[in-house]
Amino acid sequence: MAQLTFREAIARGIAQEMRRDPSVVMLGEDVGAAGGVFKGTVGLLEEFGPRRVRDTPISEQAIVGAAMGAAMTGLRPIAEIMFADFFAVCWDIVVNQIAKSRYMTDGQVSFPLVIRSGNGGGLRFGAQHSQSVENWAMMIPGLKVVVPANARDVIGLMAAAVRDPDPVVFLEAKALYPTKADVPDGDIVDELGSARVLREGDDATVLALGSMVPRALAAAERLAGEGIHVSVLDVRSLIPLDTATILREVARTGRLFTVEENPRVLGWGAEVAAVVTEEIFYDLDGPVVRITTPHVPLPAADALEDLAIPSVERIATTIAKALND
């Protein structure tokens, strides 16, 4: 057992898969000698060399285009887009080519590639470098979408993503990069589409993703001091979505709260709310409540950014008010 930061776990997860499979390659801006702008690829160039760890020009289109071509010819590339906001620059290739070409070739060509990126706010980077874009990727048929919330899951979900035959968007919450967690020794391999119950309670079910997971857990701890006991479920994977675990937990408690960093309109919680109300409406004891970032560009000012993104206090207060009304 070792204690790793989130960013160290990224490098370990990639290295685990590169050691196992020589067809796995890494490419992106400054991923080689610099070890990544967020230091998520430290040590990879030294271990695997410049043929498998490639620095690229400052061009998101070149990065994902090269990854697509590499996947078509038998490699399993991991491509880094530095900030998730920059998906907007290469979205045509991701959406209209990578996501659709396996379908359009009737499976004759597969695209086993991972596109990983720093996602979300909390670091004062402003509106163009702080967006939480998981809902962008979730809406595209042909893409799988995973969002780890701790160092251990980074490794396990990276392994699952690299080994998957389809393209996977792997979003890393930038606010979590310095956080630490105990990580078991040896290889770690998870499966996509598997949520995890982190805390059990009978009064409500709270779903959270990425950087909102530790905040939801802290809010649950605060609520327990008030006599309110909630389950906290880490969604982990948006596509595929673990609806079986979500529905089971919500049916058991009768109340559902989602905690989302993405802007409110068309956030992932809206889809979950729709599934829950369609499938187990009569098991609900009250309306689904979504706790989200408002539908605004994210401010760079400390106080305003903190106000926009769901905080522990806002999560706890919203849940307590809804359950006590």
Residue 97 near residue 45 (C-beta atoms within 8 A): no
C-alpha span between 300 and 242 (Å, rounded):
34
Compute and round to an integer the Cα radius of gyration of the chain: 19
By CB atoms closer than 10 A (0-12, 13-18, 19+), residue 296 is exposed
C-alpha span between 179 and 51 (Å, rounded):
31
Instruction: For the chain, give percent helix, strand, coil, nearest 5.
Output: 40, 20, 40
Residue 151 near residue 8 (C-beta atoms within 8 A): yes
| Residue recorded with tokens 């290889």 | 187
How far CA 114 is from CA of 49, 99, 111, in Å, comes to 20, 12, 9
Other beta carbons less than 10 A from residue 274's beta carbon: 11
Residue 119 near residue 134 (C-beta atoms within 8 A): yes
Burial readout 187-213 (b: 16 or more C-beta within 10 A, e: otherwise) = ebbbebbbbbebbebebbbbbbbbbbb
- Residues identified as active-site: 60, 129
Burial readout 137-159 (b: 16 or more C-beta within 10 A, e: otherwise) = bbebebbbbbbbbbbbbbbbbbb
C-alpha span between 240 and 256 (Å, rounded):
20
